[in-house]
């Protein structure tokens, strides 16, 4: 395994992070435990979860993933070997079954205390805001939704002040953002600096070969402000494995069970790009998944690449991507496809 540190800390994390959002829906508790056992054996010491999980988000599955992680900690005693990240659910209709007061002090307190209880731990290493309370272009929204975006942004002071109190209590150690924009990220960094509050050290945004929008502004913020990307959906919800090419609908696959999760990656442009990247992978003796993951692993603004799998075979291949070094010839071929079909998935 390869390691780095969370920015501005001495916390050592694996460059591969274990994503967990299918546990409690597509994966059972036993399967979640098996994945954690294997990942830790392979040197993966960084796990990411959220109170929202498992997905799709429903009242019945709320907190299910955190409970599975908590039961594993209790069974194995491995809490100190894991750098654990979780998130408070963002506001909106999708999460109305959880709460309706956004990132208020009350909401943050309820969310953190609930996660600690389900995870059966006294602290969370990295606590993140799952998505902004204002309207932004994420989750398949390509352009800024200026017509529907809320005029008032988050109360950055109240949010950071509340998180500061939890850091002081030792219940969370560091804070991060997710699905954020350059403006939102800089606003949090400026507010933290002005009031001596904890500084966000990571941002968890989507990034894949067919969705490289992070490079439009956020990559510079990452490099100049030292706030690391935790790249999620690096395989575009499995689309960059090639399993949905030519109209295939594999039995039990996430996109087959929940088509809306992959809809943004199934446009003609996106599927055309996937086909071209598959040719690049074949040319260089790689699987498409290996190509897609290895590309992200080597990016200078990426702190860790969040992989997820429903099957152990997928998990093994995804983790092993860390050992693949892409040659200059491979990188040039990737950029050729990107220049012809840039960011076809919103």
Positions marked active-site: 53
CB 306 within 8 A of CB 231: yes
Cα dist. 261→115, 204, 253, 254 in Å? 25, 18, 11, 8
CB 254 within 8 A of CB 237: yes
Chain centroid, CA 208 distance in Å: 11
CA-to-CA distance for 22 and 27, rounded, in angstroms? 6
CB 52 within 8 A of CB 61: no
Is 89 exposed, middle or buried, given 0-12, 13-18 or 19+ CB atoms closer than 10 A? Answer: buried
Q: Which residues contact 332 (CB under 8 A, 6 or more apart)?
A: none
Chain centroid, CA 159 distance in Å: 21
Instruction: Enumerate the β-bridge partners of residue 175.
Output: 127
CB 130 within 8 A of CB 178: yes
Structure tokens at 209: 């070969």
Q: Answer whether the bond into residue 56 is a cis peptide, omega within 30°.
A: yes
With b for 16 or more beta-carbon neighbours within 10 A and e for fewer, the 5-32 pattern comes to ebbeeebebbbbbbbbbbbbbbbebebb
């Amino acid at each position: 395994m390869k390691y780095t540190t969370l920015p501005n800390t001495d916390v050592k994390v694996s460059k591969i992070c274990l994503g967990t959002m299918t546990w409690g829906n597509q994966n059972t508790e036993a399967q979640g435990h098996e994945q954690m056992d294997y990942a830790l054996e392979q040197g993966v010491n960084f796990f990411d979860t959220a109170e929202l999980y498992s997905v799709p988000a429903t009242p019945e599955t709320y907190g299910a993933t955190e409970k599975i992680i908590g039961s594993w900690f209790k069974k194995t005693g491995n809490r100190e070997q894991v750098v654990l990240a979780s998130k408070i659910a963002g506001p909106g209709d999708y999460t109305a079954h959880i709460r309706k007061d956004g990132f208020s002090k009350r909401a943050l307190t309820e969310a953190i205390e609930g996660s600690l209880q389900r995870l059966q731990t006294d602290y969370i290493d990295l606590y993140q805001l799952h998505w902004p309370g204002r309207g932004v272009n994420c989750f398949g929204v390509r352009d800024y939704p200026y017509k529907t975006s809320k005029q008032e942004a988050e109360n950055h002071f109240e949010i950071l002040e509340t998180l500061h109190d939890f850091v002081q209590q030792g219940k969370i150690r560091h804070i991060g953002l997710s699905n954020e924009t350059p403006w939102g990220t800089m606003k949090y960094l400026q507010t933290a600096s002005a009031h001596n509050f904890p500084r966000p050290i990571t941002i968890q945004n989507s990034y894949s070969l067919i969705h490289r929008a992070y490079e439009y502004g956020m990559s510079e913020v990452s490099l100049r402000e030292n706030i690391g990307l935790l790249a999620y959906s690096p395989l575009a919800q499995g689309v960059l494995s090639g399993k949905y090419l030519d109209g295939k609908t594999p039995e039990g696959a996430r996109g087959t069970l929940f088509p809306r999760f992959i809809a943004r990656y199934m446009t003609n442009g996106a599927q055309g790009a996937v086909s071209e990247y598959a040719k690049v992978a074949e040319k260089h003796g790689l699987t498409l998944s290996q190509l897609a993951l290895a590309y992200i692993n080597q990016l200078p603004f990426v702190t860790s690449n969040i992989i997820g799998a429903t099957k152990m075979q997928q998990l093994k291949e995804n983790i092993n991507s860390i050992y693949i070094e892409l040659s200059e010839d491979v990188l040039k071929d990737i950029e050729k496809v990107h220049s012809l079909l840039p960011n076809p998935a919103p």
